[in-house]
Amino acid sequence: MLRTLYRILPWTILSLSFVIPAFYYDAISEEVLITRSLDGSNPTFAPKSPFTVFRVALIEVVCASVIELMRRRYADSNSEIHRNYYSMWSVLLYTVAFKSLFQTFEIVSSKQFANLFFYLTFGVVIAGIITALLKGRKVFSAFNRADWSFGRAEKLALAILFVVYLSLAFVPTFMFA
């Protein structure tokens, strides 16, 4: 039961990134933030539409799908190295879920709170990457590289997810810049 909850919880958090903006859609500003630089300056805005409001959540679903594909390889293994591999990807999945949630709060919040959520997002990403690296340090030093090969279906899924990610993340940036 607990293991099932552990597998479902990040997806539940991620789903809030769709529920919250849907609930507050009418209250969202007529211009939606598309990008900012790392220091929070130079924002790019786009007219509010279902695509611009839910774009971040869609990007994060793509990222989470890639992570889930990687994570599931050793979900049921009893090997310590495989458990570390699974844990490392789980940390990254939770990182994506909370990143998406905080970015959602940034979209639906007033400007003063939007900046707070921008920095919380930045903090959660840094903390998640560091935690995953710490958890994965044994994985990368002792892992059998032959285990890293993927079947055709997995490679195709990863390629499709990569193209979808590029389409969602970068094309709108050029359209509205």
How does pLDDT run across 152-171, given as a tens digit for each residue?
A: 998 899 999 999 999 988 87
Decide if pLDDT at 62 tops 90. yes
Decide if pLDDT at 130 tops 90. yes
Region 44-62 average pLDDT: 91
For residue 13, count CB atoms less than 10 angstroms from its CB and return exposed for 0-12, middle for 13-18, buried for 19 or more: middle
Task: Give alpha helix (H) positions in the chain.
Answer: 2-23, 50-71, 80-108, 111-142, 152-169, 171-176
pLDDT band at 94 (very low <50, low <70, confident <90, very high): very high
How many C-beta neighbours within 10 Å does residue 77 have? 12
Q: Which is more confident, 91 or 74?
A: 91
| pTM for the structure as a whole | 0.86
- pLDDT recorded at residue 40: 61
Decide if pLDDT at 143 tops 60. no
**Domain coordinates in residue numbering, the chain:** 28-176
| CA distance from start to end of the chain | 47
Closest CA to 49 of 60, 36, 37, 58: 58
pLDDT band at 99 (very low <50, low <70, confident <90, very high): very high
Look at strands 31-35 and 44-47 and give their pairing: antiparallel
DSSP letter (8 states) at residue 39? T
Q: Which is more confident, 11 or 116?
A: 11
Q: Is 40 left (phi over 0), alpha (psi -120 to 50) or beta?
A: left
